[in-house]
């Protein structure tokens, strides 16, 4: 079946387009919307955005591939992003990352076979005063420790299908 | 001597302490909110710009350019619309101050935007927020909606003939989009590649229209200037560096976080009085004073005042006044590796010296850290960094080179020990 925005996403799309003097300016917000709705930006999703905005697909592809938050492949239902930059490094981010890799049996950039978790090392999340930080989907988890990470993983494993509180207001992105 | 606040977790800019928030427009108004905007609307825009000039608000985004002066670069006779763009990309590692306004206290920011837009004659302001701040984007959109419903934004700002819309625009994960011209490209829907200047954005910015770009904290300062007057604002800081400042503190300190004090706070007061000293009371090895691109200082710099001029005289930069501290026992090569990896990852790839050079820096630092570098590689590293400096369209190249040069110069013995010992003496690799 061809991809299409849900009615809710369609309303959001209209709201976005209305804010700008031209359609190209609506591109990044629309790609963010598409990434959320479709789970990631497949080639098909990018073409869909191009069609909706009436933009050449080359413009859409070159922009979509430039920005790291726009996912170009599927992630787990819970996408764990461990900050590896300097402030978090000084507060033990490497140990957190290693612990998560061992516990989930995957490396950075990988997804667990059940599709529940994916893991990624990311750059500074601008929460250095509460380092180390892990972002799960939309939600920041700050002042993390190995114990807190274990508790987090447990709560995510038993989270309801809509994402649950630990994944933050946006749910599974 | 500057006056050191007794409770630096609160002040004129930081109205909320950790865990608190003001998310309701009525509450903002009950605390003196919108007074500054009303005052501004009663003034002529030119007089307003003069007041901001008098307050010498130096830009809080890192470069320290005076806000009023920047505004006066707008061409007088250009018939195109003017835009105000607010930089909430907050990407410089170590920096986490703008997030305060986005998540805990959005109204002073939005009020500052309305005042500034009126001053420069912009009827649309774009607030560019880094994409990771999903929560902050929701808070801002809600706050904008509250203001629109209350008639503070929209066709008639507080009943005046001035019209203003504020558009919250999400980024999508690219540090380079914090650079102002890349940010404009990004709003236009393009990859974030910095533009050559001239023309400067004040002349030809967003869609080639006259555009002013300012940082979030700068906007909050504009509101303070109107609230209290330029003289009172100046008295909150230094004669040439007006106003209070939000300082960030992270790394090996007991109480990391945000603190507010006048510009010119010493690193010692920030680290020991506000931050409670270092974890385990260990001696300090390095201080990155204003975000990861600012040259690293040592404990000999503890009495340096954090303002634009004096920190420069001490060999570094105020940057975003976000200090990251590391203590003895920390491998400086490992710290630099995190920094160099970041800039290599974030180079947009447009200029060869930066695209290739940042990769070289990362690989050489990595080989030093892992004990596989050759004698002489410290000089290779310095030479690579020096060949990036000044040879790129934007300052990301310099931002990548400066930490490398300062780390190698300050911790040369540590670097050489990795090479001669063929391993990290700290066991950090
Ligand atoms: C690579 C790079 C990244 C930057 N990132 C930011 C940022 O995240 N936030 C910001 O306000 N300014 C950032 N700046 C500075 C902006 O280019 C610009 O000077 C600033 O937003 C102007 O606002 P101000 O005058 O109010 O400080 C960055 C500059 C460079 C070169």
Domains delineated in chain B: 25-235 (3.40.50.11540), 246-327 (3.10.20.600), 336-421 (1.20.1440.230)
Determine the Cα–Cα distance for residues B161 and B53; give it in Å rounded to an integer.
Answer: 25
DSSP string of chain A? ------HHHHHHHHHHHHTSSSSGGGHHHHHHHHHHHHSS--HHHHHHHHHHHT--HHHHHHHHTT-TTS-SS---SEEEEEE-SHHHHHTTHHHHHHHHHHHHT--TTEE-TTSSEEEEEE---S-GGG-S-EEETTEEE-S--HHHHHHHHHHHHT--TT--GGG-TT---
pLDDT value at residue B1: 64
Determine the Cα–Cα distance for residues A92 and A103; give it in Å rounded to an integer.
Answer: 17
Determine the Cα–Cα distance for residues B214 and B115; give it in Å rounded to an integer.
Answer: 13
Q: Is A165 on the interface with B (CB under 8 A)?
A: no
Q: Is A95 on the interface with B (CB under 8 A)?
A: no
Tell me which DSSP letter residue B200 carries.
P
Mean pLDDT of chain B: 97
Q: Which fold has domain A78-166?
A: Glutaredoxin (3.40.30)
Q: Do B207 and A22 count as a contact with CB atoms less than 8 A apart?
A: yes
- Bridge-based pairing of strands B244-251 and B165-170 is unpaired
pLDDT band at B22 (very low <50, low <70, confident <90, very high): very high
Q: Do A67 and B135 count as a contact with CB atoms less than 8 A apart?
A: no
Determine the Cα–Cα distance for residues B100 and B171; give it in Å rounded to an integer.
Answer: 18
Q: Which of B165, B164, B163, B171 is nearest to B188 (CA)?
A: B171
Q: What is the pLDDT of residues A116-164, one digit of tens each?
A: 999 999 999 999 999 999 999 999 999 999 999 999 999 999 987 655 4
Q: What is the pLDDT of residues B39-95, one digit of tens each?
A: 999 999 999 999 999 999 999 999 999 999 999 999 999 999 999 999 999 999 999
Q: Do A129 and B252 count as a contact with CB atoms less than 8 A apart?
A: no
Determine the Cα–Cα distance for residues B335 and B348; give it in Å rounded to an integer.
Answer: 23
Q: Which of B44, B54, B75 is nearest to B233 (CA)?
A: B54
- Residues of A in Cβ contact (< 8 Å) with B127: none
- Residues of B in Cβ contact (< 8 Å) with A28: 169-172, 186-187, 189
Range list of β-strands (E), B111-251 = 124-129, 165-170, 211-215, 244-251
Rg of chain B over all Cα atoms, to the nearest angstrom = 22
Q: What is the pLDDT of residues B179-201, one digit of tens each?
A: 999 999 999 999 999 999 999 99
pLDDT value at residue B349: 96
What's the count of helices (H) and strands (E) in chain B, helices before strands? 17, 10
- Bridge-based pairing of strands A117-122 and A110-111 is antiparallel
pLDDT value at residue B162: 98
Q: Which of B170, B171, B180 is nearest to B62 (CA)?
A: B180
Token pair 């206290």 is found at B105
What is residue B179's three-state secondary structure?
Answer: coil
Instruction: Report CA(B261)–ligand 1 centroid distance (Å).
Output: 22
Locate the chain A residue with the closest alpha carbon to B249: A129
Determine the Cα–Cα distance for residues B257 and B260; give it in Å rounded to an integer.
Answer: 10
Taking only residues 219 to 278 of chain B, the set having a beta carbon closer than 8 angstroms to any beta carbon of chain A reads: 248-252, 256-258
Token pair 């002042």 is found at A143
pLDDT band at B238 (very low <50, low <70, confident <90, very high): confident
Residues with CB under 6 A from ligand 1: B 59-63, 65, 67, 87, 89-92, 176, 178-180, 213-215, 218, 394-396, 399
Mean pLDDT value across residues A69-87 = 97
Determine the Cα–Cα distance for residues A146 and A49; give it in Å rounded to an integer.
Answer: 41
pLDDT band at B16 (very low <50, low <70, confident <90, very high): very high
Tell me which DSSP letter residue B282 carries.
P
What is residue B208's three-state secondary structure?
Answer: helix
Residue of B175, B187, B288 with shortest CB distance to A123: B175
Nearest residue (by CA) to ligand 1, atom 28, is: B179
Determine the Cα–Cα distance for residues B355 and B386; give it in Å rounded to an integer.
Answer: 14
Burial letters A134-149, b for 16+ CB under 10 A, else e: bbbbbbbbeebeeeeb
Q: Is A123 within 8 Å of B175 (Cβ atoms)?
A: yes
- Bridge-based pairing of strands B83-88 and B211-215 is parallel
pLDDT band at B127 (very low <50, low <70, confident <90, very high): very high
For an interface test with A, the pick among B101, B132, B183, B193 (most A C-beta atoms closer than 10 Å) comes out as B132
Q: Do B189 and A24 count as a contact with CB atoms less than 8 A apart?
A: yes
Domain boundaries, chain A: 7-66, 78-166
Q: Is A138 on the interface with B (CB under 8 A)?
A: yes
CA distance to partner chain A, nearest, from residue B132 (Å):
7
Q: Which of B271, B370, B364 is nearest to B322 (CA)?
A: B271
Instruction: Report CA(B352)–ligand 1 centroid distance (Å).
Output: 22
pLDDT value at residue A1: 57
Q: Is A66 within 8 Å of A97 (Cβ atoms)?
A: no
Token pair 């709705």 is found at A37
Token pair 């601008």 is found at A126
CA distance to partner chain A, nearest, from residue B279 (Å):
11
pLDDT value at residue A165: 45
B253: phi then psi, degrees, rounded to nearest 5: -125, 160
Distance, first Cα to last Cα, chain A:
21
């Amino acid at each position: 079946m061809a991809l299409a925005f849900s009615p809710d996403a369609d309303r959001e799309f209209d709201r976005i387009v209305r804010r700008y003097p031209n359609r190209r300016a609506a591109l990044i917000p629309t790609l963010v919307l598409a990434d959320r709705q479709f789970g990631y930006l497949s080639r098909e999703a990018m073409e869909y955005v191009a069609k909706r905005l009436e933009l050449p697909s080359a413009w859409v592809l070159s922009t979509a591939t430039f920005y790291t938050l726009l996912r170009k492949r599927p992630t787990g239902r819970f996408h764990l992003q461990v900050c590896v930059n300097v402030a978090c490094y000084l507060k033990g981010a490497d140990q957190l990352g290693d612990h998560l890799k061992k516990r989930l049996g995957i490396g950075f950039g990988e997804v667990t076979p059940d599709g529940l978790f994916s893991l990624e090392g990311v750059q500074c999340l601008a929460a250095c005063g509460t380092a180390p930080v892990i972002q799960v989907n939309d939600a920041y988890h700050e002042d993390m420790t190995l114990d807190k990470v274990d508790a987090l993983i447990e709560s995510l494993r038993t989270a309801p299908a809509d994402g649950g509180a630990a994944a933050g207001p946006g749910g599974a992105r | 001597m500057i006056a050191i606040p007794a409770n630096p977790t609160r002040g004129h800019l930081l109205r909320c302490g950790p865990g608190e928030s003001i998310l309701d427009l009525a509450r903002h108004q009950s605390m003196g909110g919108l007074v500054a905007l009303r005052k501004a609307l009663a003034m002529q825009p030119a007089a307003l710009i003069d007041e901001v000039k008098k307050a010498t608000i130096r830009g809080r985004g890192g470069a320290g350019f005076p806000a009023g002066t920047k505004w006066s670069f707008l061409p007088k006779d250009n018939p195109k619309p003017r835009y105000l763009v607010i930089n909430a990309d907050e990407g410089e590692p170590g920096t986490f101050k703008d997030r305060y306004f986005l998540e805990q206290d959005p109204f002073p920011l939005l009020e500052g935007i309305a005042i500034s837009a009126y001053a420069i004659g912009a009827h649309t302001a774009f607030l560019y927020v880094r994409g990771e701040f999903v929560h902050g984007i929701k808070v801002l959109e809600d706050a904008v909606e509250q203001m629109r419903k209350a008639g503070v934004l929209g066709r008639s700002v507080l009943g005046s003939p001035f019209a203003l819309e504020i558009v919250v625009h999400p980024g999508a994960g690219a540090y380079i989009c914090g650079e102002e011209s890349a940010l404009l490209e990004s709003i236009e829907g393009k990859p974030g590649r910095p533009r050559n200047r001239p023309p400067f954005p004040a002349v030809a910015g967003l869609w080639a229209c006259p555009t002013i770009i300012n940082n979030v904290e700068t906007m909050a300062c504009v509101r303070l200037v109107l609230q209290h007057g330029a003289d009172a604002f100046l008295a909150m800081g230094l004669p040439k560096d007006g106003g209070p400042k939000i300082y960030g503190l992270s790394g090996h300190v007991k109480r990391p976080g945000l603190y507010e004090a006048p510009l010119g706070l010493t690193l010692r007061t920030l680290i020991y009085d506000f931050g409670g000293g270092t974890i385990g009371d260990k001696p300090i090895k390095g201080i990155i004073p204003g975000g990861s691109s600012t040259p690293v200082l040592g404990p000999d710099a503890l009495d340096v005042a954090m303002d634009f001029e004096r920190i420069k005289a001490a060999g570094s930069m105020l940057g975003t006044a976000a200090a990251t501290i590391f203590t003895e026992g920390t491998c400086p090569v490992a710290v630099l590796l995190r920094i160099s990896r970041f800039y290599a990852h974030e180079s947009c790839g447009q200029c060869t010296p930066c695209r290739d050079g940042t990769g070289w820096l990362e690989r050489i630092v990595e080989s030093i850290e892992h004990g596989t570098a050759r004698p002489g590689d410290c000089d290779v590293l310095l030479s690579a960094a020096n060949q990036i400096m000044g040879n790129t369209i934007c300052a990301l190249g310099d931002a990548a080179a400066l930490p490398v040069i300062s780390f190698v110069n300050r911790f040369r013995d540590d670097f050489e020990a990795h090479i001669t010992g063929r391993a990290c003496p700290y066991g950090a690799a």
